[in-house]
Structure 1
Amino acid sequence: MCGMPQQPPVRSTPTRPARPDASMSLITNVMDHSLDDGYAEAAARKKADGEGGMPKTLRAKLGFAAGLVLAALIVTVGAAQARVAAPVVAKEREELIDRIDQETDAADELEDSVDALRADVSARQREALRHSGGGDRSVLVGILSGAVAVHGPGVRLVVNDAKDASGGGDGDPRSTSGFSDTGRVRDRDMQRVVNGLWESGAEAVSINGQRLTALSAIRAAGDAILVDNRPLVPPYTVLAVGDGKQLSDRFQNSADGLYLHALQENYGIRTAISVEDDVRLPAAPSLIVRTAQPITEKGTS
């Protein structure tokens, strides 16, 4: 009996139930794959390198050792260069010291020569004064002109800056020149002091060992006081030859003496005057002698 070929039985596979969140595929993908594929690959590669490569601690130690070697190399090279340059620096220093010594010796020789020439000029001036007038007159002329050193009774006047003196400023109460009072002694103050001593009867005056003459100039350069272009350093010691007691009294009672007293009272400038039995003043370092002749008018024919 022919029949139809028998078919293998068909097994039915159970169908997988649909996920309730199937409609939210984008959100589901984000939740299932929170780490990006690229980041995942990089993390895997890093992990593989770490497992197959050198440990991190060993790498750090090797890096630190390499840094120490490099630092030691730099220090060694610097020391070698310094060692090479040291003889050159020492030689230049010795040459500089030799030059300073040579120039100092030359300056000392010039100073000795100037002193010798100054003494010769003073001797010739005294001889000329002796021939011109002779006797006491030539001595008096030499004293008054500053050509010769003098000593005798007189006064010592010390003028110094105030204790809290400072530099700079505006609006000096002592003048209308636009400078401020800073407690410093000014050139105009010393001008008044010297002129007051001359007016009070001084026969010879010096400031800090510099002899003043009729041609001397007291000027200022900043806060410094210059006498004949030579700077002075406070305190300023003024020596004056004359009748000590009388000279002191006259000066302190003069307008210039009262001016100095006002500086002391109002601005803190320190002053002290004393009568001395013997003060010594040097001759002027350079004395310019000028002569004059009368002009005769010629008559017209």
Structure 2
Amino acid sequence: MCGMSQQHPGRSTAPRPARPDASMSLLTNVMDHSLDDGYAEAAARQHAEGRSGLPRTLHAKLWLATGLVLTALVVTVGAVQARVDAPTVAKERGELVDRVEEDTREADALEERIEKLRRSVSARQNEALERHGGDKGALTALLAGATPVEGPGVELVVDDAEDTGGGGDGPRGDSSFSDTGRVRDRDMQRVVNGLWAAGAEAVSVNEQRLTALSAIRAAGDAILVDNKPLTPPYTVLAVGDGRKLGTAFRESADGRYLQVLKESYGVRYGVSVREELRLPAALSLSVRTARPAGTSSP
């Protein structure tokens, strides 16, 4: 019949299913042709011409052998030289270690001798102070820090804040503090002066006895007492009437200052009354003479 298409029996008109990797034709092509055609053609041409990576002429082979021999010779000489020099290097290192250890022992011995001489000088100064102090020699030695002290008093422990990154204006009056939670030298100065003003008879900070000539200074973040660095927590011992001393310090301006540091910056401190304290004598004592004001010098 005209105008109608004829269908061949046995042939399906349904579309052929797509290959599972049809969407990955680029990846498939890369995997099937991993080597560029240009490289393949060059390799085939060299194979056809009989060329390879190794030298074929006698002259080229001799040069290659010479290079290999020289390389092996340099490596061998270097290994032998390193083996020969190893005992010398080890000996020099051992001698250097011995010199360092010997110098360290000498420095320790000198430091020990200096400490003995310092104690001897301090003992002689204390004897002179007690011997020439007259009827008030013991009191003079006590006030000068020349003798150890025992008796009741208070123990004041001051420590940096747990979080030392605080900030803001406060009683310190200085915005240049990079870490306002740290105890500073001026804080310890106020604490010690407050204890003296409250009636303390003798004071020490971290077992460093204070005298009328003691200095509390700072070197970086460290607090120095008589040029000796201290580390927190700072334990301040003050000999005197414990209860009266503790009460007078808390009610003083310096005690309130310490309380403000605690509330504003997190500085930690605690005051406790002790029945018995022992303070050492001052390590370095400067003996000087004085005369009453208005009198002529001898």
* TM-score relative to the length of structure 1: 0.67
Partner Cα distance (2:80, 2:164) in 1: 52
Give 1:172 shift: 5.1
Partner of 1:148: 147
Give 1:202 shift: 1.2
Q: Tell me whether 1:184 sits opposite 2:182 in the alignment.
A: yes
Quick check: which has more Rg, 1 or 2? 1
On the 8 A contact 1:162/1:269 being kept in 2, the answer is yes
Give 1:117 shift: 2.5
2:234 is matched by which residue type in structure 1? Y
Question: Pairwise CA RMSD of aligned residues?
Answer: 3.6
Partner of 1:174: 171
Structure 1: unaligned runs, 5 residues or longer: 1-42, 57-70
Cα deviation per residue 1:186-235 (whole Å; 9 max; x = unaligned)? 11100101101111111111111211111111111221111122211111
2:231 is matched by which residue type in structure 1? V
Residue 55 to residue 120, structure 1, CA distance change in 2 (3 Å): closer
On the 8 A contact 2:206/2:235 being kept in 1, the answer is yes
Partner Cα distance (1:277, 1:240) in 2: 12
- Name which of structure 1's ranges 259-268 and 282-291 shifts more when overlaid on structure 2: 282-291
Partner of 1:207: 205
Partner Cα distance (1:266, 1:205) in 2: 27
Partner Cα distance (1:257, 1:235) in 2: 18
Partner of 2:158: 159
Partner of 1:3: none
2:283 is matched by which residue type in structure 1? P
Partner of 2:271: 273
- Name which of structure 1's ranges 81-90 and 239-248 shifts more when overlaid on structure 2: 81-90
Cα deviation per residue 1:226-282 (whole Å; 9 max; x = unaligned)? 112221111111112222222112111211111111111111111122222222222
On the 8 A contact 1:122/1:148 being kept in 2, the answer is no
On the 8 A contact 1:171/1:179 being kept in 2, the answer is no
Aligned length: 241
Give 1:116 shift: 2.9
Equivalent position SS for 1:278? strand
1:162 is matched by which residue type in structure 2? A
